[in-house]
């Protein structure tokens, strides 16, 4: 049985595209970067911790596999998590405006017998955003709960001048890497 250690509707939607049956798990893992921790190490650690926390919930299920993921926006080595409020979202978007940032998405697949992980790193270049564009986007509320204060699958697509990497990875679950992990575990043909 496959479990997804996430309540994210985007991750559920993306994983469903692979045609596998799975059950979502509600887990609570603190997403706190340690002092001096490199961004990629942080994202990898959080994905692993989410999968591990999920596995603890389903240890009694024979053959259980748990998929955990984390996605963060990184600009100049600073990790942009989820904005606290609309003002924080606007500040993040102002900083991303006219710049290229990285989106790091890590996926961990764990079972009682094994652990595997993959990472997708994408580069996203934003157009220059004026104050009106930022205000209009923030007013949509789409930024809420999104790393870097934007959802590439929504209205923020209009901000993306160039994407090099994984569109699904920027959304929160890199499907190429996820499918590779699931195939290696014998869960996907």
- Would you state the structure tokens that stand for residue 3, as one six-digit string? 């479990």
Burial class (CB in 10 A: 0-12, 13-18, 19+), 119: middle
Contact 34, 15 (CB under 8 A): no
Hey, which bits of 62-156 come out as E strands? 65-75, 78-80, 100-111, 115-126
Q: Residues, the chain, total?
A: 189
Residue 76 has phi, psi (to 5 degrees) of: 50, 45
What's the DSSP call for residue 127? P
Q: Judging by DSSP bridges, how do beta strands 65-75 and 2-4 pair with one another?
A: parallel
SS3 call for 44: helix
Check if 85 is active-site.
no
Among 26, 28, 41, 70, the one annotated catalytic: 70
What's the DSSP call for residue 158? G
Active site residues: 70
């Amino acid at each position: 049985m496959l479990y997804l250690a996430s309540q994210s509707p985007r991750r559920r939607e993306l994983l469903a595209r692979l045609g596998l049956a799975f059950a979502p798990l509600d887990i609570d893992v603190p997403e706190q970067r340690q002092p001096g921790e490199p961004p990629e190490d942080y994202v990898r650690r959080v994905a692993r911790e989410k999968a591990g926390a999920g596995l603890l919930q389903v240890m009694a299920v024979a053959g259980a596999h748990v998929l955990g993921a984390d996605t963060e926006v990184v600009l100049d080595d600073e990790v942009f998590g989820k904005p606290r409020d609309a003002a924080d979202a606007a500040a993040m978007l102002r900083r991303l405006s006219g710049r290229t940032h990285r989106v790091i998405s890590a996926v961990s697949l764990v079972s009682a017998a094994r652990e595997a992980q993959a990472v997708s790193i994408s580069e996203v270049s934003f157009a220059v955003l004026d104050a009106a564009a930022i205000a209009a986007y923030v007013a949509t509320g789409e930024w809420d709960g999104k790393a870097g204060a934007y959802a590439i699958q929504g209205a923020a697509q209009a901000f993306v001048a160039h994407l090099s990497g994984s569109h699904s990875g920027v959304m929160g679950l890199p499907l190429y890497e996820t499918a590779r992990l699931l195939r290696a575990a014998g869960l996907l043909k």
